[in-house]
Amino acid sequence: MAAIIDAVTVGRSGDSDAARQSLESLWDEIGPDGDALHRCTLAHFLADLYDDAATSLVWDARALEAADSLDDTRVQQEHVSLQIRGFYPSLHLNLADDHRRLGDFDAATEHLTAARIYVDALADDGYGATVRSGIDNVTQAIEAKSTERLVTH
């Protein structure tokens, strides 16, 4: 997990290429059957490093698939405050945005509906506000039938 976080930090500092290379290398080490929390976290962050919506969709789908095999016991081994239910608003939001960018507004709407089901699991903090705002932004983009990349979500 430390290596994943280090790579994400590199990406957030502006070096997306280096972060992408590090995360892809870590994915090769972890493998598609490796620890589900590591796969979920890695794929979730890696998806954001691609401009291509189809590639982002592949990684976001991997993140959701990994999350579906997790439970609170495993995520709380990483941090006692975590609950798997809290992962789903962001995971579904990202999938909604991928589908929207690809012009599949029906699938995008389905994922937004799923994100809203879990939104009560978000804390009333900056992260929760960011995800809630993202849901609103993607909803508006779907209503406008926009496939343009959003600046933030």
Q: What is the pTM of this model?
A: 0.93
Q: 153: pLDDT confidence band, cut at 50, 70 and 90?
A: very low
Measured distance between the N- and C-terminal CA atoms of the chain, rounded to whole angstroms: 24
pLDDT digits (tens, 9 = 90+) for 5-56: 999 999 999 999 999 999 999 999 999 899 999 999 999 999 999 999 999 9
**Chain centre to alpha carbon of residue 122:** 14
User: For the chain, how many residues are written?
Assistant: 153
- Give the C-alpha separation, 97 to 135, whole Å: 9
